[in-house]
Amino acid sequence: MSLTLKFTKHILKFKFDAGTSRGVLKTKDAWIIKVYDSNLPKVYGLGEVSTIERLSFDYSVDFETELQELSDALRQETLPQTLEDVFELVRNVVSVYRPAIRFGLETALLDLFHGGKFKIFDNDFYQAEKGIPINGLIWMGEKEFMKQQIDEKLKEGFKCIKLKIGAIDFDTECDLLKYIRSQYSADQLTLRVDANGAFVTQDVLKKLDRLVEFDLHSIEQPIMPKQPEAMALVCEKSKVPIALDEELIGVFGKREKTELLKDIKPHYIILKPSLVGGFVATTEWIEIAEAQGIGWWITSALESNIGLNAICQFTAQYEYEGHQGLGTGQLFENNIHSPLAIQGQEIVFNQTLSWDYGDLKFN
């Protein structure tokens, strides 16, 4: 008996031009992997290798070649018998410098380990007994487009909204925040913003001072990553709580993670499993952050529903009272149909719905 891995590229198409401070996204590459015991090909696990151009540590990798090499390596392996052995196998066959592949292989093996039923972790979320509160995501664009998104999210019942900022005029963005606060107080609506590193270090504190009036929960990555001294100063001086996001990408060792958080002292960190290296790596970040009294939440990174399902089930392993960032599955016109659904401000696993990935053709 040995493990067989097959894969296929799936180009996700956005329903609209998704604007960020790094540019506009129209498509998103993903590789769906399928793993099974060579003697039992009808029972298989699926995972997703997901990257974002110019953001993922490994976005420029030749995934066709690397996934074929991984397939060759797995022929020497058998299905692990424990969860710990699953993670050990992934560590042994995938370099730490391939975080997206680690995430995808962890997911596929965990799915296979649980019988190929899209069960990654057995908890209340998978059993459809409990949903996960999420923030409503507002994409950058013209003022009216952003206002339309805001109104829709509020009407749908979201109690936490996150706005992408930094791509249009800052005064216009402040007008939008002012509009939201004129409708809902901080007690009624939690408001987060994400700058994706768009502010320059010379005037970031001035902009953060202006944002104070909007009672923000936090701002993600106000300046570009890899400026530890500048970011530490921002975290110390800002009256708006700072959350690190892109800052965590490419930081792999436990000592390196610990020192980064000790040096910068952020209020929060935001964890994207497919960008930081999978579930083991995400768990390590959480343990380090909690030891230092730093808050955290988990966010998807524009995965298809295969990756999003895995991240939701992982997130449900934790008791967390705030809002997670797990609502991006509705962005794509050709997403893989799944039981994931948005009900009010929660993402749920609706077991009356089914998976449909019949168009995927594996190598």
Provide the annotated active-site residues: 164, 272
Tell me the DSSP string of 48-67.
EEE--TTTSTTTTS-HHHHH
Local structure of 79: helix, strand or coil: coil
Q: How many other CB atoms are there within 10 angstroms of residue 72's CB atom?
A: 10
Helices 279-291 and 99-113: angle between axes, nearest 10 degrees: 110
Nearest in space to 30 (alpha carbons), one of 15, 43, 14, 19:
14
List phi, psi (to 5°) of 177: -65, -40
* CA–CA gap between residue 330 and residue 68 (Å, rounded): 30
* CA–CA gap between residue 99 and residue 295 (Å, rounded): 23
Amino acid type, 141: G
* CA–CA gap between residue 126 and residue 83 (Å, rounded): 17
